[in-house]
Amino acid sequence: MKKMQALLVMLMILSPTIYAGGTTDTGSASAYIISPKDGETVSSPVTVRFGLNGIGVAPAGVEREHTGHHHLLINVQQLPDKDKPIPADDQHRHFGGGQTEVSLELPPGEHKLQLLLGDHFHIPHNPPVLSEPIIIKVY
């Protein structure tokens, strides 16, 4: 029983460290949107292709060094909390299967797109692996 209590205390002490801020060894990794290009006018559905440098892709739930999976931020004004899992909604699209492209139905108008890599728990890396935002116009 004492061993179990000691283990629980240790887990409680370590859990903030384990879950806070995602993977910390991202070096010079970067994410980018291959297509469409910034400023491009496109029709819907829009095929968005994702790119990475210096880090690999692994599905959500699979813990491997120097990897993560894509999250596409659509018209997001404020980046998600760096210490919590990235939300999953219409503005925060998850690609936990390791996908590197998506076909999106977007309404006419301007749209801001940005990639954010998440670790196996959907938590952004520290420092974040984040693409430059692009603005596209859908007609």
Domain segments of the chain: what residues?
Answer: 2-138
pLDDT of residue 10: 38
Structure confidence at residue 28 (pLDDT): 87
Name the region of 127 (left: φ>0; alpha: ψ -120 to 50; beta: rest).
Answer: beta
- What does the pLDDT average to over 123-136? 97
21: pLDDT strictly greater than 50: no
pLDDT at 123 over 80: yes
- CA-CA distance, 29 to 31, in Å (whole number)? 7
User: What would the pLDDT profile of 64-108 be if each residue is shown by its tens digit?
Assistant: 999 999 999 999 999 999 999 999 999 999 999 999 999 999 999
Question: Is the predicted pLDDT of residue 7 greater than 80, yes or no?
Answer: no
CA dist 83 and 64 (Å) reads 19
Binning the chain into helix, strand and coil, the percentages to the nearest 5 are 15, 35, 50
Which residue, among 114, 118, 82, has the nearest Cα to 98 in the 3D structure?
118
Q: Which of 90, 104, 81, 94 is nearest to 35 (CA)?
A: 104
Q: What does the pLDDT read at residue 91?
A: 98
Residue 82: exposure state from Cβ atoms within 10 A (0-12, 13-18, ≥19): middle
What is the secondary structure of 73-92 as a DSSP string? EES-SSPPPTTSPPP-BTTE
Q: Residue 6: which H helix or E strand, with range?
A: helix 2-19
Architecture of the 2-138 domain = Sandwich (2.60)
